[in-house]
Amino acid sequence: MTRDPFEWIGDRAAARLRAGLVRELRPRPADADVLDLASNDYLGLAHHPEVTRAAADAALRWGAGSTGSRLVTGTTELHTELEAELAAFCGFEAALVFATGYAANLAAVTALTAAGTLIVSDAGNHASLIDGCRLSRAETTVVPHRDPEAVAKELGAHDGPALVVTDSVFSVDGDCAPLARLAAVCREPGAALLVDDAHGLGVLGEGGRGSADAAGLAGARGLVCTVTLSKSLGSQGGAVLGPAPVIEHLVNSARTFIFDTGLAPAVVGGALASLRLLRREPDRAASAREAAHRLHWGLTDAGLDAVAPDACVLSVRAPGPEAAVHWAAECRAAGVAVGCFRPPSVPDGISRLRLSARADLTDEQIAEALETIVRTAPRS
């Protein structure tokens, strides 16, 4: 009998089961009757009637798909409108839209480095940045979380081009990178700074203009930001923001741009409508942050180990992976959807519930969420 070439997969599955790390897909209905603290819909725009109508109108006008890569047939007038308005809103010279935020990060890291480049990457960075570092031809050094002095040390020991890579708001605990200090560290040796602002756009900065705006760095020389359209803007896709020459370089060299199908018109139309709505209603950003702080206060007052949020992400630590899974399931059964982060998704190995605050949470919903999470918490 010939050997099954996929036999090793069963061994891996058994190891995951023993470690309590099995993941499952849970399809949700369109009208799920749960309080959502698990998604990244920070501004509550994914179901906003203006946004969904704009998405539907774009599909009716431009078609269900973009029909090709951006350089062939996949760029519509909507794409260029979104890029221009997104760049202007965030304070950058130009922008380039990608099919996903993951693709935007892969593009930025790989296209802005080469053999001889040093990448200095924060230990808490998102998987897309980590994969970009792995795919690049550059030497990569991982430094301790939120440690500008460690970054300065690595840059000082390197003679050549360098790129410092960091999340703005880290997706596990919701803490912010010290962007102003990192920019200062990069300035003297002439290193570039790449900031993944997936969880900052729409939440931080004046009226939600993002982490670079909040740090007084928007449009700064040597700074490139990536953003997602799937969180605060309630749509899908990603973008790279930066100087016009950088964006032109990405158009000509970023493989996830050149060889990927363009973002579908419907999601472009939805993201554009969300961006325009945010410009018109800038208080949504502050409302989302306030909801996050109220959740944190309630959890810590009840004695739970919750990390203070710098934006809209906050985490509550669990005794272990199985306890975290059971806790999240108990919350869902009680009508509150929460995220569950376990190894290897968490770099420190500590399992957590991950909560996402939203601008449209009511007082009653915050109280319901707190009562459910506290009541179902694992008992030590």
pLDDT digits (tens, 9 = 90+) for 166-179: 999 999 899 999 99
> Is the same domain home to 37 and 61?
no
Is the residue at 19 inside a domain? Answer: no
Domain that holds residue 230: 49-280
pLDDT at 347 over 80: no
How many structural domains are present in the chain?
A: 2
pLDDT at 214 over 80: yes
For 189-211, what is each residue's pLDDT tens digit?
A: 999 999 999 999 999 999 999 99
> Is the same domain home to 363 and 274?
no
> Is the same domain home to 68 and 123?
yes
Is the residue at 20 inside a domain? Answer: no
Question: Residue 310: phi, psi to the nearest 5?
Answer: -90, -15
Is the residue at 18 inside a domain? Answer: no
Give the rounded percent of residues in the chain with a pLDDT score beyond 90: 86
> Is the same domain home to 200 and 180?
yes
Give the residue carrying structure tokens 């002439």: 190
pLDDT at 346 over 90: no
**CATH number reported for the structural domain that contains residue 133 in this entry:** 3.40.640.10
SS3 letters across 215-280 = CCCCCCCCEEEEEECCCCCCCCCEEEEECHHHHHHHHHHCHHHHCCECCCHHHHHHHHHHHHHHHH
Mapped onto helix, strand or coil, the DSSP state of residue 193 is strand
Mean pLDDT of 235-249: 98
> Is the same domain home to 67 and 36?
no
**CATH number reported for the structural domain that contains residue 364 in this entry:** 3.90.1150.10
pLDDT at 32 over 80: no
Of the three residues 280, 315, 336, the one that is the final residue of a domain is 280
Mean pLDDT of 209-236: 97
> Is the same domain home to 219 and 338?
no
Of the three residues 258, 280, 302, the one that is the final residue of a domain is 280
**Mean residue pLDDT across the chain:** 95
Is the residue at 171 inside a domain? Answer: yes
> Is the same domain home to 100 and 154?
yes
Is the residue at 2 inside a domain? Answer: no
The whole-number pLDDT of residue 380 equals: 64
> Is the same domain home to 177 and 238?
yes
pTM: 0.94
> Is the same domain home to 40 and 158?
no
Is the residue at 8 inside a domain? Answer: no
For 310-325, what is each residue's pLDDT tens digit?
A: 999 999 999 998 999 9
Mean pLDDT of 257-278: 98
Mean pLDDT of 9-36: 84
Of the three residues 226, 258, 280, the one that is the final residue of a domain is 280
Mean pLDDT of 55-79: 97
